A = this chain, B = another copy of it.
Amino acid sequence: MTLQWNDLIVRDARALTASEIRDLLKVAERPEITSFAGGVPDPALFPLDDFNTVYQDLMADDAAGRRSLQYSISEGLPALRQWIADDLAASGAKRDIDNILITCGAQQGLDMLGRLLLESGREIVVEKPTYLGAMQAFSMRRPDYVGVDMDADGPVIEQLEAAFAKGTRVAYLAPDFQNPTGRSYSLERRLAVLEVARNYGAVILEDAAYCKLSYDGTQLPSLLALDETQGDPNAGCVIQLGTFSKTLAPALRIGWVTAPRPVIERLVLMKQAGDLHVSTVNQEAALRAARRLFPGHIEGLRDAYRHKRDTMLKALDDFMPEGVSYTRPEGGMFIWLTLPDHIDSRKLLEVALDDAKVAFVPGQAFFCDHSGSNTARLSFATEKPERIRSGIERLAALIKRVHNQY
């Protein structure tokens, strides 16, 4: 009997669909394309020599080397969690190492929190637009999405409150240099978000993936730091997702979830059942690299990415026609483009790849309600400054041409 995979595969797994970014990236990888599509760090900025030293030091130490190749506890290495706790404390969020779980990148944190808090029939608030990867992770639990509009200061509070008033109890928010828009919340909006969440007993999942990549002065405190815990690290309503992917190297797959103990205890069991623990050797390497490199390396990243951001903004200012608007992010890797209403960015992409040899990500995929057909995500992270400028010039010329055809 031939196997009937469609019958054998369960509904949760059938809810998965291929990511548009992923398929797109295959075309954008061709060398003749200037790609603003990727969301990946610039590999030229990886501290390769330091990693070489870190791995040599580790493997030359018999005891540490063998320990780093062995199974380890599901929570993550205590010394790494202590480093993260210290770093959080320095940013104003005082938590214990028992409030931290090491995950395979922040992406696994999203997946695990989806498995913890979501199921068919439950709702989750997401920003419009939001991080596509978060929706992909959550969608395996088949929740209903409640989209909340964003203004210049963050999510529209009335909409957030309305969602909570109707019974939604989880919100996924990215207050710093959001992927895909680059937008950040004002301090006032952060406080307002926390107040309304507290009033309704709702959980905030705070995505802090980009928070270290700030280019214009002081960083605002995170929701985790602003959460009113009255000194109790297990009180509060914020669960924060962090990662080394943007500051050290994505390939280590080291992220973390910071949360009250009742959450961490469940997640540790889930981690143990799901894949035992994050690679011991990678945790050890990340810890040694962070101790060795931070904060100097972060300053270097900020300088390099700030220059790229400024280059892209200058090019947008110089070349984009009337009717095109864009964000001016103070950090992160992305600028969000809003085109005239009648321009469909998916169609634009096809021409852009063929004619202008430029790639970007059409914005629609980032909206839970599939709106935003006239929007696009531009990343300034990977291309060199001179290619950023000429790529934007070609893209602007194409948009001008397409605009005039109507």
Chain A contact residues, CB within 8 Å of chain B: 1-5, 8-14, 16-19, 22, 40-41, 43-44, 46, 48-49, 51-52, 55-56, 59-60, 62, 65-72, 74, 103-105, 107-108, 111, 115-119, 122, 133, 136-137, 139-141, 169-170, 198-201, 203, 235, 237, 245, 249-253, 260, 262-263, 266, 269-270, 272-282
Give Cα distance in the complex from A139 to B14, angstroms: 20
State whether A273 touches B16 (Cβ < 8 A): yes
State whether A274 touches B70 (Cβ < 8 A): no
Quick one: given A108-B274, A275-B104, are A65 and B44 in contact (CB under 8 Å)? no
Q: Which residues of B contact A237 (CB under 8 A)?
A: 3
Give Cα distance in the complex from A13 to B116, angstroms: 5
State whether A13 touches B65 (Cβ < 8 A): no
Quick one: given A250-B70, A274-B108, A276-B105, are A116 and B10 in contact (CB under 8 Å)? yes
Which single member of B115, B116, B282 contacts A281 (CB below 8 Å)?
B282
Give Cα distance in the complex from A189 to B104, angstroms: 39
Q: Which residues of B contact A4 (CB under 8 A)?
A: 201
Q: Which residue of B lies closest to A43 (CB)?
A: B66
Give Cα distance in the complex from A116 to B52, angstroms: 39
Q: Which residue of B lies closest to A38 (CB)?
A: B71
State whether B251 touches A72 (Cβ < 8 A): yes
How many whole Å from A11's CB to the nearest CB in chain B?
7
Known: A22-B74, A111-B274. 11 other contacts (CB 8 A): A3-B203, A3-B237, A10-B122, A40-B70, A41-B70, A48-B59, A105-B275, A133-B273, A136-B273, A139-B273, A140-B270
Q: Which residues of B contact A263 (CB under 8 A)?
A: 5
Give Cα distance in the complex from A256 to B149, angstroms: 42
How many whole Å from A184's CB to the nearest CB in chain B?
24
Q: Which residues of B contact A252 (CB under 8 A)?
A: 69, 279, 281
State whether B69 touches A17 (Cβ < 8 A): no
State whether B281 touches A117 (Cβ < 8 A): no
Q: Which residues of B contact A266 (CB under 8 A)?
A: 9, 13-14, 16
How many whole Å from A183's CB to the nearest CB in chain B?
23
Q: Which residues of B contact A55 (CB under 8 A)?
A: 52, 55-56, 59
Q: Which residue of B lies closest to A17 (CB)?
A: B269
Give Cα distance in the complex from A275 to B241, angstroms: 13
State whether A107 touches B51 (Cβ < 8 A): no
State whether B19 touches A272 (Cβ < 8 A): yes
State whether A18 touches B281 (Cβ < 8 A): no
Q: Which residue of B lies closest to A139 (CB)?
A: B273
Q: Which residues of B contact A1 (CB under 8 A)?
A: 198-201
Give Cα distance in the complex from A252 to B17, angstroms: 29
Q: Which residue of B lies closest to A267 (CB)?
A: B13
How many whole Å from A403's CB to the nearest CB in chain B?
34
Q: Which residue of B lies closest to A74 (CB)?
A: B22
State whether A40 touches B71 (Cβ < 8 A): yes
Q: Which residues of B contact A22 (CB under 8 A)?
A: 74, 272
Which single member of B18, B117, B170, B274 contacts A107 (CB below 8 Å)?
B274
